[in-house]
Amino acid sequence: MKKVFASVLSIAVLFAGGCGAKQEETSAPAAETETETTETTETAPAAVMSYADFMAAEMGSEVTVEAFVQGKQSWWEDAATVYAQDENGGYLFYGLACSEDDYKKLTEGQKIRVTGTKTQWPEGTGVIEIAEGTFEVVDGNWVAPVTDVTSSLGTDELVNYMNQKVGFNGLTVEDKGDGAAFYYNWDNSGTEGDDLYFDASLNGQKYTFTVESYLTDSNSEVYNTVENLKVGDVIDMEGFLYWYEGMNPHITKVTVK
């Protein structure tokens, strides 16, 4: 930004003589215009935060992280929802500014730098995410391994894996209601193409899992597999550990044993 300051000094001196004397007016020459210029300094890019620093940041604060794309949930009206991860934790980018062409270029493993606002939805009980951010592609590629969190089911430790690629092994499909192995929508109010909800148990404790139709639609293998589950099937699962008032995994793969 340039700021210009100009001052012009004009001094008029009047000399008055006796009665009837000629009045003379003398003006000092205008002072030279002074120009002060302040050079524009580009704002330095925000420092990239570690996962620990991101988690420690206050809700509503601006954050910048680098992570590797692991899954794309949806794109609509130049905004995307993307799962990403680094070696220390998982991220959910919600409402990420992104053209449809750029969305197609976000392949699994691609590293990106994202700046946005740290939020939680629902507040206090839901998923921690980076909302309404912008991104740029940076060099790097890494596909995260699936972390087996079966032993953490039902414990406070499980939340530490939020938004990561996780696995649940050796669970038994339970009756969702009236002998059904799954529901279309959480209350069975939907039809084919909607989210699938199903229950599976471990050591007598029952848990609910979701096939998110925006992430894996009705043409996907996992969607078709869940539609064909039977109560009593023993299954292994993989997916992203979404959180909504407790764990709400978005399952991307189911294997019937």
> Residue 221: which residues within 8 A CB-CB, separation 6 or more?
253
pLDDT of residue 46: 82
Q: What is the pTM of this model?
A: 0.82
Q: Which residue has the tokens 């990403």?
A: 84
pLDDT of residue 15: 35
Cβ neighbours, 10 Å, residue 23: 8
Architecture in CATH for domain 147-256:
Beta Barrel (2.40)
Task: Tell me if domain 51-141 and domain 147-256 are identical in fold.
Answer: yes
What sign does the CA torsion over 89, 94, 97, 99 have?
positive
pLDDT of residue 42: 63
What are the 10-residue block averages of pLDDT along the chain, 257 residues in total?
36 36 42 50 80 98 98 97 98 98 96 98 96 97 98 97 98 97 98 98 98 98 98 98 97 98
Domain ranges of the chain: 51-141, 147-256
Give the CATH class of 51-141: mainly beta
